[in-house]
Structure 1
């Protein structure tokens, strides 16, 4: 692994520790800054030495130092998953002007996925601020590269995907949540800046992955036609996958219909 990807992975693990707080507190409407983290069992404030990502959980054997209450394995898994995402995104995007925008996308993907699975909601507290953040970071990326067409494409793509989801929301009430519609615009900005092929592949994969999750649940009787299956995780997974897969998928499709690939 390249040194820059390794460093990004370490950064991701540290960010993942904070994202654990976000996942727990944002759905409850609590501040992610204060108070300091406490054990839900005994109420003791978590010591700094016990708040080292992954390592503290391992050394404590997954239990609180004061009351021995179990600490969910999800905490280190979130930290490791965020680290892996940061490393993969850095290895693919490279140390470029665009990297901060896509690390941000990877960063919000983790808490939004877990919160949507937990409470079937994509909080405005995370999604809405992502619009100005994405626009600023993508503007800096275009300024750094001189590719202003990419920024115009991002705005157009974000608008198109937002309107598409809104049309689906209106056409089939209950089919998806308003949070999905709001998230679509954020994903459209990032995908379209990368390229029209990324936008097309990301949009398609969202519905493909959503179907791959929903259909087995229906067949196994664990969900009915009126059961709300979180769609945010499929949207986020489709968008991140598109960053890596859009180019080869585009080449494959062009070759399939007999058009030149270069």
Structure 2
């Protein structure tokens, strides 16, 4: 299993290199395939040998080969973070039919988090196709395991989390964006397929993590209570975290109220 986890980590680093392109181009409405990456300083096309994830940045000492313009450290950090998340999810989910689905979840978590932090937006170009991708991948997972109840649970959970966010938007207009509502349905699919406990814990963690970020910003920065703060990163982090901690948290809570786990 160690070899599989290491391979997944390496794959994640490679995927992270592509996600850097996604983060830069999707908010601008540009193709993520063409043209090839260029230095924003001198306009030279990035050579293949200078496009090796992490390693090229280190060898170039974080600067363009042609004009010596600085290359943001965010590029290798995104690659490394994606690799670590791929490895962690693989170690937790295992070499199962569900693994591709949850690696895809990581694959959208990284760019959506960064884009929302950068431009306060969750692009439809990523979120909406993820409904189809999630349904296909989770259907394959259910077919492979024979657990069709998990797929039904995923659809119900996706709808439930989507409509929960719709109610929040209706009750408190401006409290969150429509992008958050659209993302909620995608996350609901993944969380509910994993289990009802994951859905409940993931939904709760989103608001808990959002509060951890919002309260200090309101108290100690110039951000006011009506300032628009990105909620997508908290939703995504809560969903991923729930995959790892939902079962022990649910067991602890049920034990606390005297119910069988």
Q: TM-score, normalised by structure 1?
A: 0.99
Written as runs of structure 1 = structure 2, the 5 A alignment for 1:51-62 is 51-62=51-62
* Equivalent position of 2:168 in the other structure: 168
* Equivalent position of 1:32 in the other structure: 32
* Equivalent position of 2:193 in the other structure: 193
Structure 1's consecutive aligned runs of 4 or more residues displaced over 3 angstroms after TM superposition are: none
Alignment partner of 1:221 is 2:225 = no
Alpha-carbon distance, 1:16 to partner: 0.1
Alpha-carbon distance, 1:260 to partner: 2.5
* CA–CA separation in structure 1 for the residues paired with 2:50 and 2:177: 38
Secondary structure in 2 matching 1:114:
helix
* CA–CA separation in structure 2 for the residues paired with 1:249 and 1:87: 23
* Equivalent position of 2:205 in the other structure: 205
* CA–CA separation in structure 2 for the residues paired with 1:166 and 1:205: 18
* Equivalent position of 1:182 in the other structure: 182
Written as runs of structure 1 = structure 2, the 5 A alignment for 1:53-72 is 53-72=53-72
C-alpha distance after superposition, 1:15-48 (max 9, x if no partner): 0000000000000000000000000000000000
* CA–CA separation in structure 2 for the residues paired with 1:167 and 1:2: 44
Question: Where does the alignment leave 5 or more consecutive residues of structure 1 unmatched?
Answer: none
Alignment partner of 1:152 is 2:136 = no
* Equivalent position of 1:252 in the other structure: 252
Alignment partner of 1:101 is 2:101 = yes
Secondary structure in 1 matching 2:71:
coil
* CA–CA separation in structure 2 for the residues paired with 1:135 and 1:221: 41
Secondary structure in 2 matching 1:9:
helix
* Equivalent position of 2:87 in the other structure: 87
Alpha-carbon distance, 1:258 to partner: 1.8
Moved more, 67-76 or 246-255: 246-255
* CA–CA separation in structure 1 for the residues paired with 2:260 and 2:167: 34
Alpha-carbon distance, 1:203 to partner: 0.1
Question: Where does the alignment leave 5 or more consecutive residues of structure 2 unmatched?
Answer: none
Secondary structure in 2 matching 1:189:
helix
